[in-house]
Chain A
């Protein structure tokens, strides 16, 4: 249960050092990505001018406010509320994110499945759990929206945030086959019979 302070971009070795139940605090750049962003990149062949190699992405579509561009808000967007969304909808994009874009860390809530876990093992990646529904708190970890690409997809644009002390996040899936979600799911299904017995359900 080690704690890791990571400044992005990170090396494969740093990511492979992460183990389930470790904690991570991120510094530097964090990219925001969502369903429509990944449909555009991986199904429709659109390109981004951002280099995601070694970086962390968070499954998000933030609330933003349009402001006059300034040093503080270079894109003309100020963050209002930045949180996360359910990752499992985007399961089929994990391998492409790692293989084609070189992404090392995926941040989200609710976890990813077996194909993502395999990709983390083969390509060197990890999934970091942030607490869903706690966006007011997470917004205080976001310093600025530094840049944005594919903004016709707004709010599902490809966002580049600058973050400070983003976390602690929990390593919930690692590159060694560890998944908190798979373990909790197996445990819960193991208790199904007891729950049904408590309800007096007769198994026919």
Chain B
């Protein structure tokens, strides 16, 4: 299968709009689970408002949240895709055009500005934005594009600590708890707390983002990582920050951990959070057509 830039462009546009309007099923189920075990009356009410908003967005065909986020497109080149020398450039250009078209044609608020002049081109695009990651996999059929409109309230709560080996795993655990405390209500809890452990500084932060956008109910592929995320999920929900930081049990849907090997002298840990409007959408493009999902 050869990549048709027109198909990519349309998918990139549709994905941005779909992601902003329809929450994935795993997040909806996450809300139900939190509401069922919440013991604070205030928090139950807040969760109820959030659940009602999901329905209102679908009924009125509107955006879940006013923040259109920083657009991120994660592209996976799977089996059966012919990817020639110029296809990468064409792919990136098509995604950028789709992102611009979503902004102009829906219309959406362009949340993207030049970092120094703060000029807004009203396209949701700028230097290096949309963020586009291209990867390969042999367990994906065709071309898969995942779109994340990453909200700034949660993105502004991102941290990296270059801990040292003598501090051990305790440093990782303490850091995560302290980040959740420092974030308070500013991240729009309940959140998915993404934790990166290992790698280099930049890889560690990237892993934290991958963890934050991973579907609820999935586990870290590494058994030690899976155990750590399960322990951390229980611990952060002991703190009582609650939905919107107004108090309650439901501080996080889950803590997700992603790992990479690291250097003998290093012990890096990064945290990146996803807000309760944990939006994502995906499209799988095969010779049969485009299939949208989460």
Contact = CB atoms under 8 A, between A and B. Distances in A.
A126 B152 CA distance: 25
A36 B170 contact: no
B49 interface: yes
Q: Max chain A CB contacts within 10 Å: which of B53, B151, B275?
A: B53
Contacts of B64: 133-136
A82 interface: yes
Contacts of A135: 53, 62-66
A148 to B, nearest CB: 14
A60 B187 CA distance: 16
B66 A62 contact: yes
Contact of A199 (B68, B106, B177): B177
Interface residues of A, number: 51
Nearest to B277: A133
For the residues of B in contact with A, the DSSP-based class is loop
A132 B60 contact: no
Interface in A179-196: 180-181, 183-185, 187-189, 191-192, 194-196
Given A154-B122, A185-B245, A199-B177, 15 more contacts: A61-B109, A63-B68, A84-B66, A85-B152, A86-B152, A86-B156, A109-B153, A132-B188, A133-B50, A134-B65, A139-B62, A172-B246, A181-B184, A188-B239, A198-B235
24 contacts: A62-B66, A63-B63, A80-B63, A83-B67, A86-B153, A86-B186, A109-B185, A109-B244, A110-B153, A110-B188, A111-B186, A129-B244, A133-B151, A133-B188, A133-B277, A134-B49, A136-B63, A180-B246, A180-B247, A181-B245, A184-B246, A184-B247, A195-B177, A196-B173
Q: What 6 A-B pairs are tightest by C-beta distance, nearest first?
A: A83-B66, A136-B57, A134-B53, A110-B186, A133-B277, A135-B66
